[in-house]
Amino acid sequence: MKRYYVYIMTNKSRTLYTGVTSNLQRRVYEHRHKLIPGFTSKYNITKLVYYEETQDVRAAIAREKQIKGWLRVKKVALIESVNPGWDDLSLCWDEGDSSLRSE
C-alpha cells in the first residue's frame, strides 16, 4: 500500500518549510543536497523535524495545506509536541533502511 508523508523541515535559524511526498527519505535527501532549486535551497532547509504518514494522498495534501495555513506559533507547537529538542529525525535513518520509502 502506498504511503504519503506530510513533513516539516527547518534550518539553523528555524525557518520552516512544509511539504508532502510519497518518499520521505528521497525528498529529505533532495532538500539536504539542494537538488531542486527553490525555497529550501535558498534558505538551506536541511533538517527534518516533523512528519506524519497516511495512505490517502488527498488527506496528505489537505493536511499540508492546513499546516501551511497556520500561524508559526501553531506549527512550532506541533513540532514540539513530538520533537521538543528539534532533533533531525532523519539522522537515525540507515542508508539501507527502507521503512519510510513508498512501495
Question: Contact 81/37 with Cβ under 8 angstroms?
Answer: no
Instruction: Say yes or no to pLDDT of 73 above 90.
Output: yes
Q: What is the pLDDT of residue 25?
A: 95
Instruction: Give pLDDT tens digits for 32-68.
Output: 999 989 999 999 999 999 999 999 999 999 999 999 9
Domain ranges across the chain: 4-92
Residue 23 burial class via C-beta count within 10 angstroms: exposed 0-12, middle 13-18, buried 19 and up: middle
Average pLDDT, stretch 18-40?
95
Domain 4-92 has CATH 3.90.550.10: no
pTM score of the predicted model: 0.90
